Amino acid sequence: MNINELGEFGLIDRLAKKIPTRNPSTLKGIGDDAAVVAPSEMCRLLTTDMLLEGIHFDLTYAPLKHLGYKAAMVNFSDIYAMNGFPKQMVVSLGISQRFSVEHVEELYAGLLLACERHGVDLAGGDTSASLTGLTIGVSALGECEPGRVVYRSGAKPTDLICITGSLGSAYMGLLLLEREKKVFEANPNATPQLAGYEQIIERYLKPEANRDAILTLREADVTPTAMVDISDGLASDMLQICRQSGVGAHLYLDKIPIAKQCMDMAEEMSFDAVTAALNGGEDYELLFTIPLSLHGRVKDLGPVAVIGHVVEAEKGALLIPPNGAPVRLQAQGFR
């Protein structure tokens, strides 16, 4: 169905029917001039992230539902990285002529699935025609107890550096999708060779913000001293903590967790898996530091690996291979 047939109000009505409200703090969701959120003793965490067609995603291989899911997830991840929980979000869409009502519904299905899984209310939004392609802007509001907010600036020398999950998969997934896109462009009858690489593809197209890790850390009564989510790559995000905390970091290369599919794809493409982990980005794992005295509480937590320790700023931010000379960490970031 053409969006013009429904009009903006018709489209909003149609979408709003499927949108539940689940948090008691959402006093009013979609339907008025603004959403209304109840007053609270909690710190409020507010963040926003925008995904632009041609910059952040390629519709050749990114399904709209996954894209909606990812747009919500990157915002939730930033709230978790402050040690809080997302509660409400609003969505702005810029939609070009080639999209139908069904396309917008697909996108919303992804946004709503993300909200359902993370207990968030989609409390409002705006939809506009776009001349340049698809734009998805999401802003999320979260909360955290005042004493528990974690900044990038709290790391101290001797703290342990920890990471959840594994790194590099999103980037190897992107390289694989780009490779198969080229094959397809050369020969539209070719079948994409993606079997066996579901983990890295899903990591790139449909990442998961790490709510479980935050819950696990709370159960273990561990509040990190500093934390950031891995959006730009381990090197760049570690340097953010170093700069803002005024410290250095020593990371041990053989401790960096890399998933098997990421390793396999890197080998197949003659690409260095460690480079994908350091500079690839978009893994949305949590990088955090804890006091050395809490080692006992995290060492057996499933999804957490200790990969290094914080040192004085003069000792630098270094990656230390098992044999060989340490290498200075450099922020390449994600392009």
| Phi, psi dihedral angles at 192 (to 5 degrees) | -60, 140
Q: What is the DSSP-derived secondary structure letter of residue 254?
A: G
Q: How far is the CB of 237 from Mg ion (least distance, A)?
A: 8
Using CB under 5 A as the binding rule, whether residue 232 contacts Mg ion is answered as no
Structure tokens at 95: 């939609």
Q: Smallest distance from the beta carbon of 229 to Mg ion, in angstroms?
A: 4
| CA–CA distances in Å: residue 56 to residues 74, 177, 209, 313, 334 | 12, 14, 17, 34, 10
Q: Pick the piece of the chain touching Mg ion (CB under 5 A) from 76-84, 213-221, 288-296, 303-311.
A: 76-84
Nearest to 321 by CA among 253, 256, 271: 253
In the complex, least distance from residue 150 CB atom to Mg ion, rounded to whole angstroms:
12
Per rule CB under 5 A, is residue 78 in the interface with Mg ion?
yes
Part in contact with Mg ion (CB under 5 A); list of ranges 108-116, 119-127, 227-235, 250-258: 227-235
Q: Which stretch binds Mg ion (CB under 5 A): 30-38, 63-71, 225-233, 262-270?
A: 225-233
229 binds Mg ion (CB under 5 A): yes
Q: For residue 244, which phi and psi values (nearest 5 degrees)?
A: -75, -25
From the list 78-86, 108-116, 187-195, 245-253, the region that binds Mg ion by CB under 5 A is: 78-86
Q: Counting contacts by CB under 5 A, is residue 105 touching Mg ion?
A: no
Q: Minimum distance between the CB of residue 163 and Mg ion, rounded to whole angstroms?
A: 14
Residue 320 near residue 250 (C-beta atoms within 8 A): yes
Which spans in the chain are helix H? 3-16, 64-80, 101-118, 169-186, 198-205, 211-219, 234-245, 260-268, 273-279, 295-298
CB closer to Mg ion out of 48 and 92:
48
- Does position 121 interact with Mg ion (CB under 5 A)? The reply is no
Residues in contact with Mg ion by the rule CB under 5 A = 78, 229
